[in-house]
Structure 1
Amino acid sequence: MLRKQNYLYGTTDVSIPNKKSFAKYLLDRFYQMREQIALINGATDNVLRYGQIVQEAMNLAISLTHLGVRTGDVVALCTENRDEFWGTMLGIICTGAVFTPYNPTYSAGEMKHVLDISKPSYLICSPLAYKAHEKTFEGTNRLKRIILYGDESVKNTVLYNDLVIAGSNGESELVFRNKLSRNVRYEEFEVADPIDGLDGVVVIMYSSGTTGLPKGVQITHSNVICACSSSILRFTRPKSLIVTPWFHVMGLVGSAINLFAGQSIIVYLPRFNVELYLKTIEKYKVGQLFLVPAILVALNKSENKYDVSSVDTIMCGASPLPKDVAELTQKRFPNVPGILQGYGMTECTLGVCVNEYKNGEIKKPDSNGTVVPCTVVKIVDIETRDALGAHRTGEICVKGSMLMKGYLGVDRRETFDEDNFFRTGDIGYYDEDGYLYVVDRLKELIKYKSFQVAPAEIEALLLQHEAVRDAGVVGIPDREAGEVPIAFVALQPGRTVTEKELQDFVAERLSNPKRLRGGVRFLSEIPKNASGKILRKELRNLTKNNISKL
């Protein structure tokens, strides 16, 4: 078959090993590197080696099986980033069960929603997550067991440590009275085969929910193996820093890729704090940062003084990176030749496009890079659905080996076209060299008369104002124009600015349809999800309320 005109093709030089599951693929690799350091907790300085992850995973898998977990069951994990995460994840999938990570900062309604989607039989969670969602968890009748991290016993729960820390009672049985008698040996351990082989679902993740309630994204064994076997988003420095939550695809799959490669020790933080983040860079001489634009904005506007000269690589994704933020970042991190941007989504097991350094510089720093291996991209006209050529803006559609199996409970025809391309809902274009540029979300575009206004462009401009710390823009109904832009702004400490001053600031710099005809409202913080994306649905809800103006 001939390649189609106006399609962007990634390379196909990815070797998929003959493994029966992602669990076997990961366990064998981790065992090979068992003496190496895998992770360092930047908040506690605790060091975790690959061998410790393997031991914990095998012990947990045997204990879970003893508790009743079977191939095909769904086991949920609700926690912030912590040392037990990777042993837990690997242990769950070694049983043949499907792993699903929950965001502990979900509201009660969102938590109930994802529980109803994935229908887990077992749940493992941190004390913080359990305290926040205890009533919701207890109201879920389908949960057979709730397993808690930590040492504090809670009625009707099982302690995680009792499942992974072996006793010393000398019994010949591996499991005695619901507790491990000894550590499981790698030579005697067998990973359970998934029901549908490499095409079976290994993890259920959740779409970001920026435009509605999260959808359950079914990621297969082959999806994740393909991602780990490619070179996308691979850390190349001795130490890399990540604060992205592991319940998010950028954190989970991005870290899995790099743990599998074993080329960089991952220093991680449970949550973002500007001072701790900068202090961690200085302490561990971190060379590479893996983050989202919201963190870059916070770092650039912080006055904390730490030595960050060790950083020479920054990879950024999850939302558009304003040009001025990129320029300020390079001043803050003088040894970084440019910010590497990527474009991806949960539905594509992380990556669609990524940029890279060539001869010490980025060829097109404003772009999201070129298509990753085993992936095909087309840009289609929003109305006719015809594939467009270079420099023509339309909806980004994707297919390939890393594309999800589908949404749980949703007919594929609702989100895939007749050629099996996933309709992303993102707007973008590519240039004559095949570099992709993402403009905005289709559902987030503001329709002012016959014009389509991208909120990200207005937000990027507002961030240039010296009084603005953060900003979010949405459209509100207008009888004559259809919709008009309204801005929500968080101010810098000690700074003031009026609504009219910001409206004039935008009007002087952007075209007529992009003026803030809906006004400006001031908030202490712009609502965002864990990956740093603006929660525009919350901003739209705020437009219905009477928020005071400065």
Structure 2
Amino acid sequence: MLKKPNYLYAPTNLEVPMNINFGEYFLDTLLEHGDRTAFIDAITHETISYGEIAQNGMNLAVSLARMGVKSGDSVAICTENRLDFWPTLLGAMLSGASVSPINPMYTRDEIKHTLGICKPKIIFCSPAAHKAHETSIKSFNLIRIAVYQEKIPNTYFFKDLISNKVRREDFLPVEVVGQTATLMILYSSGTTGLPKGVQITHYNGVVCCSIQKAPEGLDPMTVLSVAPWFHTMGLWGTVGNLCNGFTVVYMGRFDERRYLETIQRYKPGYCAVVPPILVLLAKSQLLQEYDVSSVRMMYTGAASVDLETVREVKRRFPNLMEVFQGYGMTESTLAVARDTVDGGVKPGSVGTMPAGFVVKVVDLETHEALGPNKPGEICVKSPTVMKGYIGKNRTEAFDNEGFYRTGDIGYYDEDGFFFIVDRLKELIKYKGYQVPPAQIEAELLKHPAVRDAAVVGRPDKAAGEVPVAFVVRQPGSEVSAEEIQEYVASKVSNPKRLRGGVRFVDEIPKNPSGKILRRILRDRLKAEKSKL
């Protein structure tokens, strides 16, 4: 009945629709903005309006229902950022299915693993993703394939699936129990290796949009983003932008000159960036050639940003009011803490909790809740926290009070601002991507010349962290570091490559139970740096 000491409680003034059906909530929000441009492709300059997304989403939902997709089923989307992504996302939601965006850059094994988790009835692919993964997808005999842009034999053509015209007054989204029904299956890599399936509910999604509402009086603006939509930051950040009526100019990948040209052409007031882009903009030799005066706000997350970089970016963008930071994860449907326009900013912090959150910071040994300015593991309870991992027991991720254990070490100050100190988890964060060392280690151990191996992250100002491998050669082997790097590059997706290099050692330090003592390896890397 009484609030617990040293627990941090946020206000609970959240607006949530009565039926808690995110598909219907999102559809009606899109229709409110009608003919307003929702997206602009920065490369092709193609556009799609809010109304077109809504219309094609309803059309697709009807087609999916005719194909037998129903509540409780899953629909996957494997594509690079493209305009058709959003009607597909909406249509799957409206059909009552859970939707699972999948990284098209995954390797064959990663694709098979994720498809084994979400078990979709149908997967939507870009032509490039279809070409890369057709064999892997077809190994799952029950999955049907739909392809954007190209008509390919034995697949559905996306344009045919949205060709019927459905009126909103005649359309009824499939009913769901929003508090428990899975809206999305996203992927978060744990320290044990391959991605885990994160179940996000309709309720999680509606609350996520509620806490991203723009302050009153802030007019809809143009946003520039390069974040991939299969990643929680790009996906839920963009959903939040749409719920505020913003126009999103997007790029499939970052190119410095193209990025600055896009700012000059479309004059965004707000740029969503990952920390490596901030570092590049702070050092850019091209920036002075372009008019970037439209940019008033930047928002970043996924990794920490040093104050010197923030100051330099502010200096070089003449009208930039603030670089807002945030801290979150896939399991919390984006943010746990964030800076806001109306909430103030503290240098070095990642902001304050959104409404509806309860957070405790616990001692790593005793698990007792700590007070202000005392670092410990951050544990979160909120209406945005996932309902659990697919196929995993909740006790693996939640404590006995129902708090999600983030595995991150941080603290809050007397004003409720959070500061991230370190990560208890072993994940390496490369340019905002979560890289699990165990997956790379598993590939290394398959190499005939490798006897033992361990992978840790080495700090890198541009990328956040880069993976470094410590390798024990098999007796008599003379395998080189370059050979090891090339081998790993052929087995894993791009962010997981050994950009930090390979160190050959006599043994891998481990505790009595066999767990790798990564701290010792990180200390060796620090010692190397101190000698430079």
1:216 & 1:401 partners in 2: Cα distance? 19
2:35 corresponds in structure 1 to 35
Match for residue 340 of structure 1? Answer: 324
Residues 253/529 of structure 1: CA separation in 2 closer, same or farther (3 Å cut):
farther
Q: Percent identity?
A: 44
Give the Cα–Cα distance (whole angstroms) in 1 for the partners of residues 214 and 9 of structure 2: 18
Alignment of 1:18-97 (within 5 A): 18-97=18-97
Provide the residue aligned with 2:156 in structure 1.
158
C-alpha distance after superposition, 1:327-369 (max 9, x if no partner): 222223232233111001110011110113459xx54121001
- 1:243 aligns to 2:226 (yes or no): yes
1:237–1:288 CA contact under 8 A, matched in 2? no
The CA deviation at 1:108 is 1.2
| Residues 1:352 and 2:336 are matched in the alignment | yes
**Other structure's SS at 2:308 match:** helix
Q: CA offset at residue 543 of structure 1? A: 4.2
Amino acid in structure 1 at the alignment position of 2:241: N
Q: Could you tell me which amino acid in structure 2 is paired with residue 472 of structure 1?
A: E
**What is aligned with 2:147?**
148
Q: 1:219 to 1:417 in 2, by over 3 A?
A: same
Alpha-carbon distance in 2 for matches of 1:543, 1:155: 48
Q: Is this contact kept in 1: 2:96–2:173, CA < 8 A?
A: yes
Given candidates 400, 424, 427, the residue that maps to 1:442 is 424
Post-superposition offset of 1:206? 0.7
Say how many residue pairs are matched. Answer: 462
Q: TM-score, normalised by structure 1?
A: 0.78
Aligned position for 1:306: 290
CA distance in 1 between counterparts of 2:117 and 2:293 reads 46
| Equivalent residue, structure 2, for 1:325 | 309
8 A contact 2:467–2:501 mirrored in 1 = no
Q: How does 1:230-309 map to 2 (within 5 A)?
A: 230-231=211-212, 238-262=221-245, 264-304=246-286, 305-309=289-293
The residue aligned with 2:207 is 226
Gaps of 5+ in 1: 166-179, 447-454, 464-468, 480-487, 489-520
Q: Counterparts in 2 of 1:86-235, with a 5 A limit?
A: 86-143=86-143, 145-150=144-149, 152-165=150-163, 180=164, 183-194=165-176, 196-208=177-189, 212-231=193-212
Deviates more, 1:469-478 or 1:104-113: 469-478
Is residue 392 of structure 2 the alignment partner of residue 394 of structure 1?
Answer: no
**Is the CA contact 1:232–1:351 (under 8 Å) kept in the aligned structure 2?**
no
AA partner of residue 155 (structure 1): P
Query: Which secondary structure state, in structure 2, belongs to the residue aligned with residue 53 of structure 1?
Result: helix
SS at match of 2:179: helix
CA distance in 1, matches of 2:379, 2:493: 24
- The one-letter code of the counterpart of 2:225 is I
Question: In the TM superposition, what is the alpha-carbon distance from 1:322 to its structure 2 partner?
Answer: 2.2
What code does the residue aligned with 1:148 have?
A: V
Q: How has the CA–CA distance of structure 1 residues 103 and 11 changed in structure 2, closer, same or farther, with 3 Å as cutoff?
A: same
Kindly tell me: are residues 274 and 387 of structure 1, through their superposed partners in 2, closer, same or farther at Cα, counting changes over 3 Å? same
Q: Deviations over 1:253-306 (max 9, x none)?
A: 1111221121x2111122222211111111011110112102212333332232
SS at match of 1:280: helix
The yes-or-no answer on 1:378 pairing with 2:378 is no
How far apart are the structure 1 equivalents of 2:107 and 2:505?
20
Q: Secondary structure at the match of 1:45?
A: coil
Q: Distance in 2 between matches of 1:365 and 1:104?
A: 36
In the TM superposition, what is the alpha-carbon distance from 1:24 to its structure 2 partner? 0.9
Structure-2 change in CA distance of 1:404 and 1:474 (3 Å): same
Instruction: Give the TM-score normalised by structure 2.
Output: 0.80
Tell me if structure 2 keeps the 8 A contact 1:20–1:197: yes
Q: Which residue of 2 is the match for residue 315 of structure 1?
A: 299
Please list every run of 5 or more consecutive structure 2 residues that lacks an aligned counterpart in the other structure: 429-455, 473-480, 507-528
Relative to 1, partners in 2 of residues 1:538 and 1:419: Cα closer, same or farther, differing over 3 Å?
A: farther
Question: Which residue in the other structure is 1:491 paired with?
Answer: none
Cα pair 1:444 1:474 within 8 Å, conserved: no
For the aligned residue pairs, the C-alpha RMSD in angstroms reads 3.1
Deviations 1:405-438 (A, max 9, x none): 0000010011100110001111111111111001
Offset, 1:197: 3.6
* Contact 2:20–2:203 under 8 Å retained in 1: no
What is aligned with 1:483? none
Amino acid in the other structure paired with 1:349: T
SS in 2 for 1:190: coil
Is contact 1:380–1:395 with CA below 8 Å preserved after alignment? yes
* Cα separation, 2, equivalents of 1:232 and 1:209: 31
